[in-house]
Structures are given as C-alpha cells and as structure tokens.
Amino acid sequence: MAGRACALAGDRDLASEYYEEFLLRIHGCPIPELVDKVRQTLPMDLNNVESTYEYIGGRNSFGSILHRVNNNIVFYTKIQINFENYSKELFFYKNRKKLLTNRFNSPDLIGEITIDDMNYLTISFLKGTPAGLDNVADVVRAAVSIASAGDVWRMSVHNKDCTLKVRSRSLTSIIRFFSCIDQKSVNDSLVDDLRICLEKTTHAVEGRQVLDRLAAIVQGKMAYKLLDVSRHFSVVHGDFFPCNISIDESSGEVNVIDWASLMLGLKSIDIATYLCRLKFNFSDIKKHALSGFPEFFESPVDRVFFVYTVIAMNICLLRTSDAHYQYNSRIVNDVLLPAIDYFEQEFSLIAS
C-alpha cells in the first residue's frame, strides 16, 4: 500500500496522510471519532487524558493513538490489521506476569478492541533510553529469561506457515528459517538462498568457502537431526532488535516491547539477532553469549546451532557495493572465519 511505501522511503508525513485516509475508508468515520471509540474501551477516567492519532514511524505500522497526561505519553494504542500478530501480542500481555520472571519490563495491557476487522491494542508506555554497550549482559539475560519461560508458552503459541526466503540485509528473513530449522528442506532452502545472497557481494569467494564448510555439516552430516524441539526450541520474542529494547531511566532495568512476532523457534535466536544487529565480532559474541551464559549454552547442540545462526545472519549482512569493501572484510575476517572454525570444532565434539 502507498502508506507503507512512503514509510519505507522515510517520508513520515506522507505515510501518515495515506494511513489516515486508509483508516477513514475502513471505518467510514473521521479520525477523531475513531479515537473516541477506542477511548471508550479504556477502564479509567480519561478527563485529564488527551488522545491523538499520530504516525510515529515503523514500516509495518498503521500509526498509533497516543494518550498523554500533561504532554507526557502514558499509554498508546497500536493499530494492527494482522490478526495472528494481534492474537500473539494479546496473549503475551494477558499472561506475561505468570509466565515470566522479573528479569525485564514489558508493557501492561490497558484495553483492546476490534473495529471493522482492525485491531486496537492499548498498552502502557515504557519510558527508556537506548540500550548501550554497558547493557549488553542485561539484554542477553532478558532474552535468556524469555526462552526459559516454560512449557505453557508451547501450548499457546503456534507458528503460521510462511514463505521462507532470505532477503539481503534482512535478519528478520533469517529468523523465520530458525523457527523450523530441524527440517531438512528448511536447511536446504537456507543454504541455497545464502548462496544467492553471496553472488554479488565483494567477498563472494570467501563467503562461499565459509558456506561450503557450513553446508558440509548442516547438509552433508545432517546436523539438523541433532535437534530435539522439546529441548532446543522455545518461545522467543522473534523481533529482538535494539529498536524494541530500552533501559528504564529510573531503575536501569531492561524494557522489551513489540511482542507481535512471538513464535516457537531455536531458543537462542533472540540472542543471535541482538548481537548480530550490534555488529559484534565473533570474539565479542562468544563473550556475551557462550561464555556469558554457560548454563544456557551447556548443550553442544545449542552452541552449534547458535553459531549456525550467527553465520547465516552475517552472510545475509554482506553488501554488494565496492564502497562497503572494508565493512565486508570485517564480517568475513572477524565474524565468519572464526565462527565457522568454532562451529566445526563444536560439531566434532558431538560427532566423537
């Protein structure tokens, strides 16, 4: 749609105009009237609350209704058209207190309503500052906490079948593969797609050498057969990027938002997503994950597939322009080569 195209292009104002027009067509009423309908679902006195529709960014957002007291946002209403994502997020907010430990903060559910097949989910606003390098251990600990929440999640969260396709520089496309990486066909498709990603990069030769070594184990020795879904998979956030993580200004605790991608997957996928997005060298990835949380990575199978994820994500991050030659060199030399060495060493321990 036009609004999403403008959002992708970074034109917030034009995206907002298109989204407002879209909501007007769907609901057949002006935006202020829609805002009032949502306000009526909120279980509180709203006399001192000012509510306005605004588009504040995001490629898959239809905008939000922001609710302010004295010009400060206290909660906001997410507008969603994807019922599956809405259901996952609603499930999380309704059950989070009995499912999670107090390792991090997440929003409280304020209210929810579906109007004309559009979903309106109102949650508390968590004020925070971007997580920095000093907070990496705390953020990884939050990801470990999510993956360790228990079997209740498994009974309630189901993955929807989706098309698996690696898109250049899209870690989200890699995440989807690792929701079903225990299947032969998924591993075959991932390796094939990564080969295509490598074709036009400045380091295609070096990348193919790494991928060949990876494929020799993943496909040749059928490493995926080592995976036991009951042990090596868990419910994961599924969108564990820095934009969804902040640090509470008063307590210093980790805030984690946007639970619409909740899914079953390799239990370390959130950790890999976060550390790879920070563009860490493999030595730092080992320090913050494998060495930092040895109990979580006690199984060599968990270590092997975590590194498999790191390799796939970093191949995906390689770029095609000569202007990114040094960037690609760093990924190859400081991430891919030491990662594939570690991958082979750990797999040899399992095989022996």
What is the rounded CA–CA span in Å between residue 267 and residue 253? Answer: 22
d(C-alpha 147, C-alpha 89), whole Å: 16
Amino acid 1: pLDDT: 63
Return the SS3 of 163: coil
Q: Cα separation of 109 and 111, whole Å?
A: 6
Find, among 19, 15, 5, 23, the residue nearest to 117 by Cα: 23
Residue 266, helix vs strand vs coil = strand
Q: State the Cα–Cα distance between residues 319 and 332, nearest whole angstrom.
A: 12
The token pair at 105 is 């903060």
Beta-bridged to residue 121, according to DSSP, are 78, 112
Instruction: Output the six-digit token pair for 4.
Output: 């999403």
Other C-beta atoms closer than 10 Å to the C-beta of 252 total: 11
The pLDDT of residue 102 is: 65
What pLDDT score was predicted for residue 85? 86
Contact between residue 184 and residue 222 where contact means Cβ atoms under 8 Å apart: yes
Residue the block writes with tokens 């200004």:
249
Residue 131 CA to residue 139 CA, distance in Å, equals 8
Tell me the whole-structure pTM to 2 decimals: 0.93
CA 74 – CA 68 distance, rounded (Å): 6
Rg (the chain; Cα; Å): 22
Asked if 316 contacts 170 with a C-beta cutoff of 8 angstroms, the reply is: yes
3 state SS for 199-244: CCCCCHHHHHHHHHHHHHHHCCCCHHHHCCHHHHEEEECCCCCHHH
Contact 73, 38 (CB under 8 A): no
If we measure between CA atoms, which residue out of 128, 339, 103, 334 comes closest to residue 249? 128
What was the pLDDT predicted at 34? Answer: 95
- Spatial separation of the C-alpha atoms in residues 330 and 287, rounded to whole Å: 18
CA–CA distances in Å: residue 274 to residues 68, 97, 129, 265: 31, 24, 16, 15
Query: What is the biggest distance separating any 2 CA atoms in the chain, rounded to whole angstroms?
Result: 69
Q: Which residues pair with 66 in a beta bridge?
A: 52, 76
Q: In the block, which residue shows the tokens 């593969």? A: 177
In the chain the first and final C-alpha atoms are separated, in Å, by 54
Taking only the tens of pLDDT, the chain with its 352 residues reads 676 766 666 778 888 888 899 999 999 999 999 999 999 988 888 889 999 999 877 666 788 999 999 999 999 999 988 888 898 899 888 887 766 666 789 999 999 999 999 999 999 999 999 999 999 999 999 999 999 876 555 555 555 555 677 776 688 889 999 999 999 999 999 999 999 999 989 999 999 999 999 999 999 999 999 999 989 999 899 999 999 999 998 899 999 999 999 888 999 999 999 999 999 999 999 999 999 999 999 999 999 999 999 999 999 999 999 999 999 999 999 999 999 999 999 999 998 7
pLDDT at site 99 = 64
